[in-house]
Amino acid sequence: MKNFSKLERDLGVSFANKSLLTQAFCHRSYLNENQSLSLEHNERLEFLGDAVLELVVTEFLYGRYPKENEGELTAWRAALVNSERLAQAARELDFNEYLLLSRGETKDTGKARDFILANSFEAFIGSLYLDQGYAACQTFIKKHLLGKLPEIIRQGLFKDAKSQFQERAQEKTSITPAYQVLKETGPDHAKHFTIGVFLADKLIARGEGSSKQEGEEKAAKKALEIKKW
């Protein structure tokens, strides 16, 4: 079992109920291999933490930006609480060192790990809320997440990948991206699309999805990475 006292010191918090803190990092797979432990996995805490996180962020945005409309605030909130941003915040706090995972999950360091880290961030907020209340969650979220908002706004990271790629392409090449279906497979009720994004006649990237919209978004995201935009 992990020793969470260092994490408490690093975060400047001290849990009255230590089992809540442990539970926040306990993945379902860990319990499958350690069934004798009297411990619950973190999914219920994640459910609670997700709601607390959204309220704290919403309250902050509403108070800090009184002149922005609902659509803008919604986009900023989505960019702040998406799984990629939460996984990044969790890594910065060394949450990866405290995850309780099965041997199989421990070996996975890719997107699956990022998903687990994002969930653990929400679960930690849920445990903090139960142990110390809403104000403690506000302090934690303000310190470790809300500070990322200026960069999100400045770089336009709240925009979807298609919007970002179109803006960059027009700015740098004066060309508006075009999307084409390169491949379509599967029956009508379960189509799978491969979409290409082009600048003029040049194919920049491909994206796949169960809808044309999903394929276009993934193609645009890949194109941003390829062009380093």
Q: Looking up tokens 């930006």, which residue turns up?
A: 65
Structure tokens at 49: 């933490």
CA distance 229 to 227: 5
State the CATH number of the domain containing residue 88. 1.10.1520.10
Run of H or E residues at 180: strand 178-185
- The model's pLDDT over 123-158, given as tens digits with 9 standing for 90+, comes to 999 999 999 999 999 999 999 999 999 998 888 778
Is the domain of 138 the same as that of 86?
Answer: yes
Among 155, 181, 205, the domain-final residue is 155
**pLDDT at residue 50 in the model:** 96
Band (1; pLDDT cuts 50, 70, 90) = low
The number of distinct structural domains making up the chain is 2
121 and 176 share a domain?
no
Q: CA–CA separation, 86 vs 92, rounded Å?
A: 10
Catalytic positions are 50, 122
Average pLDDT over residues 1-24: 93
Q: Which domain holds residue 83?
A: 5-155
Give the three-class secondary structure for 159. Answer: coil
Two structure tokens written together for 219 = 């193609």
Select the more confidently predicted residue: 185 or 164.
Answer: 185
Please provide the average confidence, as pLDDT, over all residues in the chain. 92
Torsion sign over Cα 87, 89, 91, 96: negative
CATH number for the domain that contains residue 199:
3.30.160.20
Q: What is the pLDDT of residue 6?
A: 94
